[in-house]
Chains A and B, each alone.
Chain A
Amino acid sequence: MDFEPKILGIACNWCTYTGADLAGTTRLKYPQNIRVVRVMCSSRINPSFIFRAFQLGADGVLVGGCHPGDCHYGTGNMYARRRLAITKKMLEFAGIEPGRFRVEWISASEGNRFAEVVGEFTGQVKGLGPQTKLKIKTD
């Protein structure tokens, strides 16, 4: 059987989540591998969420927020950008494939973009194979 990756999507309420909603209401097809969690702002994301997701079996993590400058709260995603940039560098230095983690700015009107990114990212993670390094071994 083909490997179907488990992808955690963390989406900001005002842009990416609404964008995902739009993708749904316009009947766009995108892979079912993503499980979306809604947060109020991308700056709500504690990088430990990402490490924890990998530990609990995620093969990839996709974070979505408003375009910089369009944050509902003014500057939230500017802080998030710095934090997530560091998180990415950390994963890389720890030896986790950085391709398993991606940050995208998707606005509420970009339903197509959401579907496109999810498709692309799922393909990428599929290529990398199952994530076994951080995953907690239960046996």
Chain B
Amino acid sequence: MTGPVSWLGLVTSLALVAVAVVVSLWQHLGLGRQIAWAAMRALVQLLLVGVALGLLLTPGRSLWWSWAWIAGMVIYAGDVARRRAPEVPRMASLAIASFAAAAVITLGVTFGLRVLPLNSRTLVPIAGMMVGNSMTATVLAARRLVDELRDKRDEVEARLALGQPSRLAATPYVRAALRSALSPQIETTKATGLVFLPGAMTGLIIAGVSPVHAVLVQAVVMFLILGATATTTVVVALGLVARVFTPDHRLRPLPLGGGKRG
């Protein structure tokens, strides 16, 4: 290995996982096994992805393989979103549509306007960050909207009873869901550089890229994540409105939540 972290370094860093396990044991959290499993699973997944990316980024390899990788990533992300928000009707297809829309817009701007050069080395990581970073907000928007419409059903039906079309009747709850889903990303963006150094920039600096160039890349990534998050949340929210209301403007029954938050 020629990078800044050796295999021995990697093994040594597992001491930090041990710290988390010790905290769990000390405070009787019962999370030790989960922490160890999560760390090992992440490591194995990253190694497998590293191998796959190595194949994907081989010079001369067709860019279509990268697009196929992104398509697979979007579909898998849809499944993850479904499992995180089981109470949201047909969440997987909604999430896939929202990630696909975000991919078209953000990758279109980033590569179509030549902000970054289009090749496998830029396309796959950028798409990965786009999907990964907008996942939480997408799930949050969908769950919040379903919660709002279910908990304020009386209010929603009062709006419908006034003759408001379902899209208009849902507007206040869509706004609340979008605000709550986008606020954390906006706060993160505001705090970037002051409170924390983001992963992409840190990784580039560690890999030897000059801090100024690392900052430029990070800024692009940050704006891309902001744009992607706004796109995925609005697509998922409007798509959900179309599904939870009938074509004749009635609110369908909505199940109670029970899945993992986030």
Do A and B truly interact? Answer: no
Which A positions have Cβ atoms within 8 angstroms of B? none
